[in-house]
Structure 1
């Protein structure tokens, strides 16, 4: 049985790899009840249009749900992670971590000067 550690590159999902969508997913992970459109916009520092575009892509991938309702007379849009979305994002983060570790090990083994990497990224060869 193979795992992300056999070839983590195949587990990198392009739906999450775009920087703004990575920020959106990361922000949503912080709240089990989801976040409002306004909270996401402020947290990720995106325009209305840019956030809407990324939310549409994430919704089409079925990793988020967009809930629209009225609170009194005011509309409120809330975005929540789906169970599949949370699981897929965690798998993506694990794969990304493994890719970064491999890159750090390669740089360290190559003796590149002037590149400083966090020690936690560099796994000893015998570990």
Structure 2
């Protein structure tokens, strides 16, 4: 965590968008890579780079499979990722309340 209590892995704008989008799904649900890419309007390379950092932190699970002969990648927020996002939003709300007061 940074001095402000904001997780630097999540705090990067692109990763925050990824985590927030996956957090909106019911626990255990997955989103396909192309669907997430389209929702966030990110290039495949940019999204892959940020997903790798989130996966390395244990925040996102990546499932690679095949649908027929076509490879498919599905993404989900892990329990650790969901908890980190909740901690992040709590810390951010605390900072915003402090700035307003």
Question: Structure 1 length normalisation: TM-score?
Answer: 0.73
Give RMSD over aligned pairs.
1.4
Find the aligned partners of 1:104 and 1:35 in 2 and give their Cα distance: 36
Alignment of 1:93-108 (within 5 A): 93-105=89-101
Question: Larger radius of gyration, structure 1 or 2?
Answer: 1
* Structure 2 counterpart SS, 1:31: coil
Question: How far is the alpha carbon of 1:50 from its aligned partner?
Answer: 0.2
Match of 1:75 in 2: 71
CA apart distance, 1:10: 4.2
What runs of 5+ residues in structure 1 fail to find an aligned partner?
1-8, 106-127
**Corresponding residue pairs, total:** 98
Q: For residue 63 of structure 1, what is the aligned residue in structure 2?
A: 59
Q: Which runs of 5+ in 2 are unaligned?
A: none
* TM norm structure 2: 0.90
| 3-state SS of paired residue (1:46) | coil
Aligned mates of 1:29, 1:98 — CA distance in 2: 20
Residue 22 of structure 2: aligned partner: 28
Q: Distance in 2 between matches of 1:76 and 1:103?
A: 44
